[in-house]
């Protein structure tokens, strides 16, 4: 089953740069469908990135984050071959997670 | 190989929603009996902050503080966003001991767009893409040493990001 999460984590010296793309509609709740009915808000609420048993980044997202959200950040201490775990949960209780290797 | 088997802090055994636990097992984390890994938890989501309509109220709800302008917060956003549904915005700061970054779009129905928790060891910088309903001031807030600092920029939006 394909994950909704695509991630590229590259270590350069002491710093690991992480870029992630998550497939999610991120419906704001303000848009109407063709029949004029409001499409209910459906968006990721929390994204968490963990390395070495420690959380290195947490995103708290509202409906104003764009569809198929992209994120980039950097942290220290990761090295090539390490695992980076990404997990998210949305406002409907759905979730996904992925373990990626730092390159 | 599996560092979670050694996770020392049993307080991190969170009761996971079945979907998350199922998702992790489905990923082939070998079904080994390791302590429940504490994945992203909806309880962390600051519901009240995301409902606020003003910068002051959103920051009070999120951080419990007020903010002052600082030239050590940099906000990278386009002068003109051609597509309000996808506006690339990046925030960075040279301030010390940064623990959080928040981005607000003042003309959006709810001003807080995104907030980030920055643990020690993580750089005070983030790039993301946000929706802007219309031309608006965008405010980047950085929590440093327990205080809030901000930078702002007016971003013009030609096609609104709320599907209008």
pLDDT of B7 higher than 60: no
Measured in degrees and rounded to the nearest 5, phi and psi for residue B11 equal -65, -15
Percent of chain A with pLDDT over 70: 99
Report the C-alpha gap between B150 and B134 in whole angstroms. Answer: 21
Rounded to 10 degrees, what is the CA torsion of A57, A58, A64, A70?
40
**Chain B interface, best mutation among A8, A95, A101, A102, by max B CB count within 10 A:** A95
Report the C-alpha gap between B142 and A59 in whole angstroms. Answer: 14
Report the C-alpha gap between A37 and A60 in whole angstroms. Answer: 27
Residue B163 has a pLDDT of 60
CB A57 within 8 A of CB B118: yes
Residue B19 has a pLDDT of 47
pLDDT of B2 higher than 60: no
Q: Long-range contacts: B65-72, Cβ < 8 Å, 24+?
A: B65/B143, B65/B146, B65/B147, B65/B148, B66/B148, B67/B141, B67/B148, B67/B149, B67/B150, B68/B147, B68/B148, B68/B149, B68/B150, B69/B149, B69/B150, B69/B151, B69/B152, B70/B95, B70/B142, B70/B149, B70/B150, B70/B151, B71/B151, B72/B149
In chain A, what residues touch B42 (CB-CB under 8 Å)? 45-46, 89, 91, 93
The answer for residues whose C-beta is within 8 angstroms of residue B85's C-beta and 6 or more apart is A66, A67, B131, B159, B161, B163
Q: Mean pLDDT throughout A45-50?
A: 98
Residues of A65-77 as b/e, b for ≥16 C-beta within 10 angstroms?
Answer: bbbebbbebbbee
pLDDT digits (tens, 9 = 90+) for B11-44: 455 544 444 544 444 444 444 444 456 899 999 9
Average pLDDT, chain B: 85
**Looking at chain B, how many residues does it have?**
164
Give the closest residue to A20 by CA, choosing from B23, B120, B40.
B40
Closest-approach residue (CA) in chain A for B105: A64
**Chain A interface, best mutation among B4, B40, B76, B89, by max A CB count within 10 A:** B40
In chain A, what residues touch B155 (CB-CB under 8 Å)? none
Q: What is the CATH number of the domain that holds A38?
A: 2.60.40.10
Based on the structure, what is the number of domains in chain A? 1
DSSP secondary structure, A12-62, as one string? ETTEEEEEEEE----B-S--B-TTSPBPPPB-EEEEEEEETTEEEEEEEE-
User: According to CATH, what is the number of the domain B45-157?
Assistant: 2.60.40.2470
Domain that residue A69 falls in = 5-101
pLDDT digits (tens, 9 = 90+) for B77-93: 999 998 999 999 999 99
State how far residue B42 is from chain A, nearest Cα, in angstroms. 6
pLDDT of A6 higher than 60: yes
State how far residue B4 is from chain A, nearest Cα, in angstroms. 7
User: Does B45 contact A58 at a Cβ distance shorter than 8 Å?
Assistant: no
pLDDT digits (tens, 9 = 90+) for B145-159: 999 999 999 999 988
Start-end of CATH 2.60.40.2470 domains in chain B: 45-157
The answer for residues whose C-beta is within 8 angstroms of residue B51's C-beta and 6 or more apart is B61, B110
Whole-model pTM over 0.90: no
CB atoms within 10 A of CB B66: 11
């Amino acid at each position: 089953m394909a994950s909704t999460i695509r991630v590229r984590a590259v270590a350069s010296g002491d710093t690991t740069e992480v870029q992630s793309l998550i497939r999610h509609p991120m419906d704001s709740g303000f848009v109407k469908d063709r029949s004029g009915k409001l499409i209910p808000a459906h968006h990721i609420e929390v994204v968490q990135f963990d390395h070495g048993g420690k959380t290195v980044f947490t995103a708290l997202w509202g409906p104003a984050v764009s569809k198929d959200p992209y994120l980039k950040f950097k942290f220290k201490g990761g090295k090539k071959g390490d695992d980076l775990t990404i997990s998210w949960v949305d406002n409907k209780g759905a979730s996904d997670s992925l373990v990626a290797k730092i390159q | 190989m599996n560092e979670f088997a050694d996770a020392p802090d049993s307080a991190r055994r969170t009761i996971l929603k079945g979907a998350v636990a199922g998702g992790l097992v489905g990923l082939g984390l070998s079904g080994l009996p390791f302590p429940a890994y504490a994945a992203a938890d909806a309880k962390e989501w600051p519901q009240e902050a995301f409902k606020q309509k003003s910068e002051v109220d959103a920051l009070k709800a999120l951080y419990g503080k007020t903010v002052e302008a600082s030239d050590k917060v940099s906000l990278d956003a386009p002068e003109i966003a051609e597509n309000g549904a996808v506006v690339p915005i990046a925030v960075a700061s040279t301030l010390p001991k940064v623990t959080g970054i928040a981005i607000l779009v003042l003309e959006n129905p709810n001003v807080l767009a995104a907030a980030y928790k920055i643990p020690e060891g993580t750089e005070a910088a983030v790039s993301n893409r946000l929706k802007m309903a219309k031309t608006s001031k965008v405010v980047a807030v950085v929590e440093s040493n327990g205080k809030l600092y901000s930078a702002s920029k007016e971003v013009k939006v030609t096609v609104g990001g709320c599907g209008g």
